[in-house]
Amino acid sequence: MKNNNLKSKINFYFLAVFFSFLFFVLRLNANAASLNLVSSESEIAIGQEFQVDLILDTDGEDINAIEAKIFFPEKSLKLQEIRDSNSIINIWVKRPKIERSGIIDFSGIIPGGYKEVEGFIFSVIFRADESGRGAVEVKDAKILLNDGKGTAASLKISNFQFILETEFPTKIQISKSKDIDSPELFAPEIARDPNIFDGKWFLVFAAQDKGSGIDHYKVCERIKTTCVIAESPYVLQNQNLDRKIFVKAIDKNGNERIAILPPKSAPRYQKWLVYIIFGAAILSVIILIKWLRGLRYKKIIR
Amino acid sequence: MYVIIDLMIFKFRYFLIFLFLFLFLFLFLFILLSSSIFADNSGVILTVTVADCGNSVVNSGEQCDGSNFGNFNCASLGFNGGTLSCNASCQYITNSCIPASVAYTASTTQIMDFSSGGDFTFDSTNNVLFSFPENFYTEDLKLQAHSYSSSSFASEKPAITGKNFIGQAYDFSFVIPSGSSTNSQVSALSSPVTITMNYSDSDVSGFSENTLAPYRWGASDSSWQLISGATVDTANNKVSFSTVSFSSFGLFGSPTLSPLPSPSSSGGGSGGGGAINVPGIASVIFSGRAYPLSTVTLLKDAQISASTVADPDSNFQIALSGLSTGSYIFSLYGQDKNGLKSTIFTFPVTLTAGATTNVSGIFIAPTIAIDKSEIRRGDNLTISGQSAPLSDITISVNSDKEIFVKTKSNNSGAYLYNFDTTLMDYGDYSVKSKTSLAASISSFSKVLSFKIGARNVETPRLVKKVLKGDINNDDRVNLIDFSIIAYWHNRAKPPAKIDLNGDGNVNLVDFSIMAYYWTG
């Protein structure tokens, strides 16, 4: 009888400790920020395009840096497009793109921090190619607090599970962007620093496009028609900085915005022109003086 | 001696004759080359008489004929848009083409279906709406649209005397998109197209709105021509007109006779703040409290967008207009009279088309400074800073436990508190402050660290404090510093200055530290 009582007491304490631990763990998890992959449908017809959004829920934490990898089964899903316009990430360290087959890699920062519940990071458009079940997953994720120390925040992950079948009805409509707006105004800057590019002058730029997103940039150093596709930071070819620089931000629909940087110094040919004119003026004065002297000498002879 | 001088003068005469001959030859060749009137093969220079000029066919020796430009337009001739025309000798007139030196701020091309017509909006930030009627031409046409800042445009096509450009200047032209006449410019449409140009309140600031009118650049007389029959809707900031001829366009207005009172808060291209009820355009107005006469800086998506100076009561307002619709991350910070910066106040805002979003009640966190980085136990630590005038300042001193003390700011918003360390333990502490005024409470200031020990170590006041993350020491943490750190991302042996947490790597932690100290 005593043994039974003892056993029931031990069971009671064990259960109490277990539930306390469970409660503690659940509480801990409840306070964590989360990265969620969400889509409007999880049952998708073969051949159908669908969109998966990566959303940050900070759960009240102040977050300023994120990095992660998105894994997807490349046999069953064909990547169509990555849309990062309207992202909460202002500055990309690595813009989301395919790192190697089936993996999208990205990292970026939110200067000043972000602590809302529905922070859109980017969308991935897939096409369902092969029947079966699978998941789009977030791995190697890291989010950091806006505390000036880069402290890692606790993080929950929610992946997207899907079923692809031929007989599922086609019901998802991917909105095709009709972006006719140029990217936002932006201001490139020229700088140099002994720590990079051997102290050469370089150009930094970052534009935003709220419609289709920035596709690429072009830098034109000589004239506006001779441009090269460039990424920031861009080492300037013309280190004399004596010509205008045109920076074009081009969105995914081909709309472009041009920012112009005036030359920092006068072009070399202009300097030479000034020297030549100045030299010619001095020479003219000397010749004129000699000419006048010659006339006076002739008068004297006569 | 005189003989030598005489000889020199003699030689000099020859030199002059040679020089004149050379200049004459050069001038002659230059005129000939610029006129393009060389004969084809013989090498003999002669003037070509164009017998077939006027038959609308570009014959040999002609550059154009009437409205036939032989598959060329200003852009294909190396200009930056504009309208090409043809003279009586069947040669191009490029007076109305815009030189490459005048850069456009936005550009687009759009092929329009001639049979169905329809609407097309060019550059929503400037917002020009084209309404094409059905059968506006006999075939599909490509619209080439460019916008320019009026200041650079005025260097080529100066404003009308007594009037000023309102907003941007534009150039619109149509070309054949395909077929044998690809790129050939179309001089006139079959049916008029209605163009609606939008302007902002800030565009007409200082101008009499009832003098606003649209003008078209006349290629033949190289001057601005008033477009008759235009409608000016001052309530909605729109100007509409119909036209079949395309060239450069601009809105012009006359300055008001008495100057408008200067706005209390505007800067960096912002201002105005009125709603612009046009699809695709959104506005946002930020208002709140900072410190008296402090500089308030607004960042849009991490880059400085505008700044203003708060009034003596510490109130500020910043308006941004002409923004695309979408989600933005806006941030604000203040800089006090001593150059100290507050923490950044960040908030996401989604802007909707045609609406003005008001973000009010912003209370910028106070600035904070301490006079010692280490203080002898028992001495007073001076904690000071700036906030709104006559507000309640709560100072938090934190170690194992948090101690709150209160003080009040004076009429200029400055506060100062002498914190007695007599009852404190030895050790490391942090201090921060926040402000409350009426029902508003600010967020906390920056966090400063100090130590209670056996000696006093003054915080240097005269030495400029370099922000962490300010790699190039320009007192800003922005895209330049980010680029320098990004260069070292995952590279071996980064310089100590760039490795912000000193762990021997440049990784996400360093970027996070930089994002915390960001100033734009």
A140-171 pLDDT tens trace? 999 999 999 999 999 999 999 999 998 887 76
- As a CATH number, domain B282-363 is 2.60.40.10
B290-326 per-position pLDDT tens digit? 999 999 999 999 999 888 999 999 999 998 888 888 8
Report chain A residues whose CB lies below 8 A from the CB of B107: 182, 256, 258
| Contact yes or no for A65/B515 (Cβ under 8 A) | yes
Which fold would CATH assign to domain B466-520?
Type 1 dockerin domain (1.10.1330)
pLDDT tens per residue, range B395-452: 999 988 889 999 999 999 999 999 999 989 999 999 999 999 987 899 999 999 999 9
Of B80, B468, B511, the CB nearest to A109: B511
- Beta-carbon contacts of A26 under 8 Å, excluding residues fewer than 6 positions away, are none
Q: SS in 3 state form for B327-366?
A: EEEEEEEEECCCCCECCCEEEEEEECCCCEEEEEEEECCC
Give the residue, A39 or B90, on which the prediction is more confident.
Answer: A39
Same fold, B282-363 and B369-458: yes
Interchain CB distance below 8 Å, B80 and A224 = yes
Asked if B327 and A196 come within 8 Å (Cβ–Cβ), the reply is: no
Looking at the DSSP assignment, which residues form a beta bridge with residue B225? B216
Residues of A whose CB is below 8 A from B125: 181-182, 184-185
Hey, what's the torsion of the CAs at B288, A209, A81, A141, to 10 degrees?
-40
Best of A58, A186, A195 to disrupt the B interface (most B CBs within 10 Å) is A195
- 3-class DSSP state of B326: strand
DSSP secondary structure code for residue B444 in this structure: -
Residue (of B99, B105, B107, B106) closest to B156 by Cα position = B99
The class of domain B369-458 in CATH terms is mainly beta
**b/e map of B264-281 (b: 16 or more CB within 10 Å)?**
ebbbeebbbbebbbbebb
Cα B239–Cα B245–Cα B248 angle in degrees, nearest 5: 65
CB B369 within 8 A of CB B459: yes
Q: At residue A23, does pLDDT exceed 70?
A: no
- Report how far residue A245's alpha carbon sits from residue A262's, in angstroms, rounded to the nearest whole number: 7
Assign A175 a pLDDT band (cuts: 50, 70, 90): low
Distance from CA of B106 to the nearest CA of A (A): 5
Please determine, looking at this structure, whether the domain spanning B75-255 carries the CATH number 2.40.50.140.
Answer: no
Put simply, the answer to whether B472 touches A109 (Cβ < 8 Å) is: no
Domain ranges of chain B: 1-48, 75-255, 282-363, 369-458, 466-520
Q: The whole model's pTM is what? A: 0.61
Are the Cβ atoms of A112 and B299 closer than 8 angstroms? yes
Q: Name the helix (H) or strand (E) containing B279.
A: none
The residue type found at B269 is: G
What's the complex ipTM? 0.80
